[in-house]
């Protein structure tokens, strides 16, 4: 943990991290970069002096490129597979993410975090899990899914419904192929628009829900994707009888400080950087600005 605001006294490599260090990035080295699609790259990063990130799935870091700016990015690797490094899947959209895409192994970026409330992993044990990531929403959910896979025996059914706009925009294709081979995972993938390479389902993510039947009382659902997706996915999940408190969403907001100081991420009276980005639906259904 390099600067977990909830636990500022945690020691690492003999160091006590003080609260002020919430604002001081630690220099991380880019170990590897891997293009995933035309717009997304996967970055493997290593912290200095044997530090580890010690994150929970669903948390994010603030990545700074000196002279350019800072951006919140979800941690895409699972804590159970950290090997001392961590992965970020980054879509190139603007200044910071474009500068990051131009960087190469050996270059250094600033990292603050991990920040935010992640998924309540312990509460999920013994439950059937239904994951519904859309597009880049697979990046944070991959962290959770791989942790679940690494402790597979302690969960019930694991169902993944993943939607992307087109076959070329599917993320983590090699991992999807591995998940598809497993007997203990039910994976359904769809694309909004097919092409000559695609023989799978065509249609938006909600078209996958009719392929599955679940036991709603024992099911926890986790969804993450573009804001437009949530309303429709929620209708499907609620329609299947899953309770409000057993549906978890990760909400993206414009963030700056990441630690509840600047107010940029505010949803009504709630700071998404601290109370989120992961929320049970029961907590946000009354917030007008949430969805």
Ligand X SMILES: Cc1cc2nc3c(=O)[nH]c(=O)nc-3n(C[C@H](O)[C@H](O)[C@H](O)COP(=O)(O)OP(=O)(O)OC[C@H]3O[C@@H](n4cnc5c(N)ncnc54)[C@H](O)[C@@H]3O)c2cc1C
Nearer to ligand FES, 20 or 122 (CB): 20
Name the minimum Å distance from CB 158 to ligand FES.
32
- Verify binding: residue 262, ligand FES, rule CB under 6 A: yes
| 90 near ligand X (CB under 6 A) | yes
Q: Assess 255 for contact with ligand FES (CB under 6 A).
A: yes
Partner interacting with residue 93 (select from ligand FES, ligand X, none; CB below 5-8 Å by kind) = ligand X
The yes or no reply on residue 136 touching ligand X (CB under 6 A) is yes
Q: Between 240 and 256, whose beta carbon lies closer to ligand FES?
A: 256
What's the chain look like in SS3? CCCCCCCCCCEECCEECCHHHHHCCEEEEEEEEEECCCCEEEEEEECCCCCCCCCCCCCEEEEEECCCEEEEEECCCCHHHCCCEEEEEEECCCHHHHHHHCCCCCCEEEEEEEECECCCHHHHCCCEEEEEEEHHHHHHHHHHHHHHHHCHHHCCCEEEEEEECCHHHCCCHHHHHHHHHCCCCEEEEEECCCCCCCCCEECCHHHHHHHCCCCHHHEEEEEECCHHHHHHHHHHHHHCCCCHHHEEEECCCCCCCCCCCCCCCEECCEEHHHHCEEEEHHHHCCCCCCC
Interface positions, 97-126, toward ligand X (CB under 6 A): 97
Q: Which residue has the tokens 């880019």?
A: 30
Residue 258 interacts with ligand FES (CB under 6 A): yes or no? yes
Applying CB under 6 A, does 240 fall inside the site for ligand FES?
A: no
Which of 224, 253, 275, 279 lies at the binding interface for ligand X (CB under 6 A)? 253
Residue 136 binding target from ligand X, ligand FES, none, CB below 5 to 8 Å by type: ligand X
Number of residues this chain uses to bind ligand X (CB under 6 A): 21
Residue 65 CB, nearest distance to ligand FES (Å)? 18
268 binds ligand FES (CB under 6 A): no
**Residue 28 binds which one of ligand X, ligand FES, none, with CB within 5 to 8 A depending on kind?**
none
Distance between CA 158 and CA 126 in Å, rounded? 11
By the rule CB under 6 A, 290 interacts with ligand FES: no
Nearest distance from residue 90's CB to ligand X, in Å? 4
Minimum distance between the CB of residue 159 and ligand X, rounded to whole angstroms? 23
Return all residues near 235 (Cβ < 8 A) that are at least 6 apart.
206
- Using CB under 6 A, which residues numbered 259 to 288 contact ligand X? 277
Is residue 23 within 8 A of residue 36, CB to CB? The reply is no
Residue 279 touching ligand FES (CB under 6 A):
no
CA atoms of 182 and 127, how far apart (whole Å): 19
What six digits make up the tokens of 145?
């899914």
Binding of residue 157 to ligand FES (CB under 6 A): no
Identified binder of ligand X from the candidate list 4, 44, 64, 74, rule CB under 6 A: 74
Residues of this chain that interact with ligand X (CB under 6 A) are: 60, 69, 71-74, 89-91, 93-97, 136, 139, 252-255, 277
Binding site for ligand FES (CB under 6 A): 255-258, 260-265, 271, 273
């Amino acid at each position: 943990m390099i600067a977990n605001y909830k636990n500022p006294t945690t020691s690492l490599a003999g160091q006590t991290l003080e609260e002020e260090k919430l604002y001081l990035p630690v220099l991380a080295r880019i170990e590897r970069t891997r293009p995933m699609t035309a717009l997304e790259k996967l970055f493997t990063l290593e912290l200095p002096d044997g530090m580890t990130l010690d994150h929970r799935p669903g948390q994010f870091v603030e990545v700074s490129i000196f002279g350019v700016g800072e951006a919140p990015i979800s941690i895409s690797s699972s804590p159970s597979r950290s090997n001392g490094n961590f992965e970020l899947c980054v879509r190139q959209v603007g200044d910071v993410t474009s500068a990051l895409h131009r960087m190469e192994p050996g270059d250094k970026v600033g990292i603050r975090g991990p920040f935010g409330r992640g998924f309540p992993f312990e509460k999920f044990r013994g439950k059937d899990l239904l994951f519904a990531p859309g597009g880049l929403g697979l990046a944070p959910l991959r962290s959770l899914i791989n942790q679940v896979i690494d402790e597979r025996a302690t969960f019930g059914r694991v169902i993944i419904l993943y939607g992307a706009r087109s076959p070329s925009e599917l993320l983590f294709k090699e991992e999807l192929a591995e998940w598809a081979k497993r007997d203990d995972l039910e994976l359904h993938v769809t694309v909004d628009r097919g092409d000559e390479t695609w023989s799978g389902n065509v249609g938006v993510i909600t078209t996958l829900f009719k392929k599955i039947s679940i036991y709603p009382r024992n099911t926890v659902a986790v969804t993450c994707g573009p804001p437009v997706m949530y309303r429709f996915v929620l209708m499907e999940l609620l329609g299947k009888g899953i309770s409000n408190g057993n549906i978890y969403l990760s909400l993206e907001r414009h963030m700056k400080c990441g630690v509840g100081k600047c107010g940029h991420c505010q949803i009504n009276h709630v700071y998404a950087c601290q109370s989120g980005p992961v929320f049970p639906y029961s907590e946000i259904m009354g917030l007008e600005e949430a969805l």
